[in-house]
Amino acid sequence: MSTQNYDYIIVGAGSAGCVLANRLSADPSNKVLLLETGGSDKSIFIKMPTALSIPMNTDKYAWQFHTEPEPYLDNRQMHCPRGKVLGGSSSINGMVYVRGHAKDFDEWQQHGAKGWDYQACLPYFKRAESFYLGGNSYRGDNGPLGVNNGNEMANPLYKAFIKAGQQAGYAQTDDYNAAQQEGFGPMHMTVKDGVRSSASREYLDPVKSRKNLTLITGALAEKVLLEGKKVVGVEFSVSGSKQQAFAAKDVILSAGPIGSPHILQLSGIGDKDILSEAGVEVKHHLPGVGQNLQDHLEFYFQYKCKQPITLNGKLGLVSKGLIGARWLLNRSGLGATNHFESCAFIRSKPGVEWPDIQYHFLPAAIRYDGKSAFDGHGFQVHVGHNKPKSRGAVTIKSADPQVAPKIQFNYLQHQDDIEGFRACVRLTREIIEQSAFDEYRDGEIQPGKDVQSDEEIDAFVRQAVESAYHPSCSCKMGEDEMAVVNSQTQVHGIEGLRVVDSSIFPTVPNGNLNAPTIMVAEKAADHILGKPVLSASTADVAMEKQWQSTQRSSEI
């Protein structure tokens, strides 16, 4: 068994791990090891934004996890893919760039994550980003991550969606990642120069040649090595050969919301009863490991389109070939966008303080596997209730690291989540029925006009919802008895061990998770290195003042 010595060992070269590898190795005196089970991210299907459905559904690039039968979704087993490639899920995701609402991060602090409120997090969002319209109090202009709007909403359906929202009485927002999330406006994506702007491309590629950074791919982390209550290294295997690496300072788990709690449990850190049942020797009883699991669900609202202007007319081999050729030649056109170019964030009912419903608009009626939903032209809007109260768990099943853990989200367990999706159906239908869509709308495909009552909506949702692929919160940050890490990202009761990825979110934000995961890693890097954190922002946040009595407002 070979052994190696480092200052820091990072497990997982995903959205968080690539950030950490860059920031920790910037000091040449720090010897850093980065371990990743997957391999190269140089595939054209990863680089080309429009090909987003391919890497997510390819075994080579993603762990193809599935949940246990979900009891509140008619016992459906839900697909839960996670990145298994350099860049992790930032190399297989939909590239949607959403930070979350300011109140989401204030909520983190209220849950015990001290120093992680919005004003403390905003400078790290800015540090990570290069926004295509330039920097300001909210946006960064010289960070690694490229953010733009794709093709500037060239298809008229994008703007029709925004106009319909205004006609329905909702506000417009020019930048939902700035002062005002609530409202309808253009959507942002992590694309730079027509290419996916993944954590691997932007954070890892520029520093791979550093002599103090070692990257090992094809490495499956099996457990952390403990001496009493101190972690001293990692045991991993490459092509079946076991190896050990030792860390003088910290081992940092950045294996994601499924991988990080599983590695902790494989190492004997977790709930003692769960570990014992799986045949794992208990090294440290920490009951919150794997608990508090959260995710976003969504479904598609689909309509036929009167005009032949949708992407359904671009799904043939000739059209795909032309799109691909243009992208290969100059990284432009329909190949250079994820096609989610307008969006909205609204509140589901009066008394909800900040948005809990998210929309992604798509000028096509299409499934996630890239196939047409029907013959003809159509459009759809993805909608989900994004502040769920249902909670699940990631639970080790075997001491064998090759055996995937049990994943159970308990989707729609809470009545508030069920009512949130009823609001999604009724509010969305009202928006699409506005006059802005009269020249385009040609009949509802899904859910269908016959889905009207609470019972009909509930039955439709149970069958139609899919994961939005935002699992998180399974190693939550805080100070209560179910917290796994403290506000410095250190595992409670264990020296030399941290977790830095979306698993440490106390609650799931209202939005996609790549942006906040990268932000968390940026901020955690300063904690790990003992640097002063960036000065807190004083930027204002726009809120609906009458939120207790109104569900919508045209002005905020």
DSSP state of 203: I
Q: Sort residue 147 into left (φ over 0), alpha (ψ -120 to 50) or beta.
A: beta
The answer to whether 83 touches 61, Cβ cutoff 8 Å, is yes
Strand partners, 441: 305
In the numeric block, the tokens 């509802």 are attached to 444
470 classed as catalytic = yes
Q: Who contacts 209 (Cβ-Cβ below 8 Å, separation ≥6)? A: none
Q: What is the DSSP string of 457-520?
A: HHHHHHHH-EE-S--B-TT-BSSSTT--B-TTSBBTT-BTEEE-SGGG-SS--SS-SHHHHHHH
- Count the neighbouring beta carbons within 10 Å of the beta carbon of residue 287: 15
Cα–Cα distance measured from residue 409 to residue 392, given in angstroms and rounded to the nearest whole number:
4
In whole angstroms, give the CA distance from residue 199 to residue 49.
Answer: 14
* Beta carbons of 250 and 33 less than 8 angstroms apart: no
Residue 137: CB atoms within 10 A of its CB come to 12
**What is the torsion angle, in degrees rounded to the nearest 10, for the CA atoms of residue 410, residue 414, residue 419 and residue 425?**
-10
Rounded CA-CA distance 340/359 in Å is 10
DSSP string across 444-475: EEES-TT--SHHHHHHHHHHH-EE-S--B-TT
* 294 phi/psi in degrees, rounded to 5: -135, 160
- HEC profile for 214-240? EEEECEEEEEEEEECCEEEEEEEEECC
**DSSP-assigned letters across all residues of 243-299:** EEEEEEEEEEE-SHHHHHHHHHHHTTEE-HHHHHHTT---SEE-TTTTEEEB--EEE
Query: For residue 241, what are the β-bridge partners?
Result: 238
Residue 85 DSSP class: B
Q: Are the C-beta atoms of residues 41 and 282 closer than 8 Å to each other? A: no
Nearest to 170 by CA among 417, 363, 372, 348: 348
- Cα separation, 181 vs 344, in Å, equals 8
H/E element holding 420? helix 415-432
Catalytic residue among 101, 360, 377, 470: 470
> Is 339 within 8 Å of 150 (Cβ atoms)?
yes
β-strands 497-499, 241-253 pairing: parallel
Helices marked H in 63-181: 102-110, 118-128, 156-167
Q: Which residues are catalytic?
A: 470
